[in-house]
Structure 1
Amino acid sequence: MATAAPTTAERIRSACARGGGAMLAVEGIEPVASPVHHLLDDGSFAITVPATGPVSSLLISSGSAGVQAVLELTDYAPLPLREPVRSLVWVRGRLQQVPTETVAPLLDLIATQDPNPALLQVNTGPETADDSYALLRLEIESVVVADSTGAESVALGALLQARPDPFCTMESCWLQHMEAAHRDVVERLATRLPMALRQGRVRPLGLDRYGVQLRIENADGDHDVRLPFAKPVDDVTGLNQAIRILMGCPFLNGLRARRV
């Protein structure tokens, strides 16, 4: 049978790759935004915080002991929904400074996989500008994800083995375009829903190699439904074909009418 949905670890990796909102919480300090949050192959997160902020100051005073911290990643829907948060990921661990001599090589490593413009603001020398960021490392102790179905912990090994969905960085643009210019596609997909759910407002919620997610907003609340593809897809051609099959289009597999 075809896999109907990404694993929890794959969903987390996709949320990281999309680069959504991330906040770092340290006890006794107001949470701060972290524009860079990159999972490294050694099982730690490289994150950034303001170089002159309280988190950086606390780490300097803590020395090699570091401090306990929680990184919260928020996966937002790409459309203005009533409930825009699709999932939350909490990464708990020990926060450490990155030695000055290894900051630049680590930035280069991150940039090869995630060319985030915020990397250019990371302080790489002894001088610290007011608008610069410090590069830190969060040694992972636990990972928990929560969504509308509940909460689940994920083993670090599974997280490292998983890969982001091949369409995760394009998902937002595609769903926004579908909502704005191709409501006919959404309406065709909605015909696959149970009759009881067709009365509400149907919105595209998610898209990945395993299927399409729809959000139905109606008077009694929100309902999320996944429409799985017949098989996982890996490229744009396969994705287009899979969506056409879900829509019930003729000539589903590229076949053409037989000439007589």
Structure 2
Amino acid sequence: MLPLTSAAPTTAERIRSACLRAGGALLAVENEDPVAAPVHHLLGDGTFAVTVPVERGGDAGCLVAGSQALLELTDYAPLPLREPVRSLVWVRGRLQQVPPTAVSETLDLIASECPNPALLQVDTPRSAPSGPRDTRYALLRLEIDSIVVTDATGAEPVSVADLLAARPDPFCEIESSLLWHLDKAHGDVVARLVSRLPAQLRRGQVRPLGLDRYGVRFRIEGDDGDHDIRLPFHKPVDDMTGLSQAIRVLMGCPFINGLRARP
């Protein structure tokens, strides 16, 4: 029988990974409607760089320095599920302007760490005039007061220091592709992995939910609701070779290192 508890990403690691793969981000400011924030990047000084749409008049609506704001990041499951949201990250703080002389440098820094096409739509002192239908963005900083992540296990806060010290999961940016490939091309592997779950937890439709360096997660959609369970790897992995071997171990495959010719 596999254990129901195991090593798992820390709260800070989960947030760092969610920030990279978040499929949607909204910035809500007091007395204003939420707006899309296509760029949301944690900077080394412990603030979030965020982008907000620029109105035709040339400014970011009524967003002013010192405004209280809430950044909501949504982490969606890669595969279609009854409840597609895996987790929400809420970052509360105050907005501050980025000095015009620092905008280009900040954009270059973000692009070097996390390329995002939306960076090309951010206004800089040297930006060319935009067309009447082009969406342009202003770059702001969110000084963090609190960070909370909530998922099926509940809500948990994390400090800015812990967030800066953590690193995203090595597979977070390709997790969606890996799970789609596993689900569509390797149904036999999924079936073998599911067979390792305790029988009483397999009452319903079982689908891959997530994958990280510590293991594979599954979502059981049953008549009594949804339940998540983790199949832990025998040890954390950091690359594709280690991931392949870890999945073979979970399957109970005797050829852990692949087939080898006889001497």
TM-score, normalising length: structure 2 = 0.91
**1:97 to 2:101 alignment:** no
**2: CA distance between counterparts of 1:53 and 1:42?**
31
**2: CA distance between counterparts of 1:18 and 1:151?**
19
**1: CA distance between counterparts of 2:116 and 2:22?**
9
Quote the residue 2:201 is aligned against: 197
**1: CA distance between counterparts of 2:22 and 2:229?**
24
1:257 to partner: Cα distance: 8.9
1:180 to partner: Cα distance: 1.3
- The one-letter code sitting in structure 1 at the alignment partner of 2:10 is T
Q: What SS does the corresponding residue of 2:242 show, helix, strand or coil? A: helix
| Aligned positions of 1:69-80 closer than 5 A | 69-80=69-80
**Distance verdict in 2 for CA 1:250–1:120, change over 3 Å:** same
Flag structure 2 segments of 5+ consecutive residues without an equivalent: none
**Higher-helix-fraction structure:** 1
Deviation string, structure 1 residues 169-211 (Cα, Å, up to 9, x no partner): 0000111111111111111001111111223111000000000
**1:170 to 2:158 alignment:** no
Deviation string, structure 1 residues 35-71 (Cα, Å, up to 9, x no partner): 0000001000000010118982323xx4xx4201000
**2: CA distance between counterparts of 1:131 and 1:176?**
32
| Aligned positions of 1:86-235 closer than 5 A | 86-125=86-125, 129=130, 131-235=135-239
Q: What SS does the corresponding residue of 1:56 show, helix, strand or coil? A: coil
**2: CA distance between counterparts of 1:111 and 1:197?**
43
- The one-letter code sitting in structure 2 at the alignment partner of 1:15 is A
Deviation string, structure 1 residues 129-168 (Cα, Å, up to 9, x no partner): 4511001100011001101111111011000000000000
2:49–2:140: 8 Å Cα contact kept in structure 1?
yes
Deviation string, structure 1 residues 74-95 (Cα, Å, up to 9, x no partner): 1100011000111111000000
- The one-letter code sitting in structure 2 at the alignment partner of 1:103 is V
Deviation string, structure 1 residues 71-116 (Cα, Å, up to 9, x no partner): 0011100011000111111000000111111101100000000110
**1: CA distance between counterparts of 2:143 and 2:10?**
23
Q: What SS does the corresponding residue of 2:18 show, helix, strand or coil? A: helix
**1:39 to 2:24 alignment:** no
1:216–1:222: 8 Å Cα contact kept in structure 2?
yes
**1: CA distance between counterparts of 2:22 and 2:199?**
36
1:125 to partner: Cα distance: 2.2
**2: CA distance between counterparts of 1:230 and 1:257?**
26
Quote the residue 1:52 is aligned against: 55
TM-score, normalising length: structure 1 = 0.92
Flag structure 1 segments of 5+ consecutive residues without an equivalent: none
2:17–2:169: 8 Å Cα contact kept in structure 1?
yes
Deviation string, structure 1 residues 212-251 (Cα, Å, up to 9, x no partner): 0011112111110001101000110000000111011112
1:3–1:231: 8 Å Cα contact kept in structure 2?
no
Quote the residue 1:249 is aligned against: 253
Q: RMSD value over aligned CA atoms?
A: 2.1
Deviation beyond 4 Å, 4+ runs, structure 1: 253-259
- The one-letter code sitting in structure 2 at the alignment partner of 1:109 is L
1:255 to partner: Cα distance: 7.8
2:22–2:74: 8 Å Cα contact kept in structure 1?
no
Quote the residue 1:8 is aligned against: 11
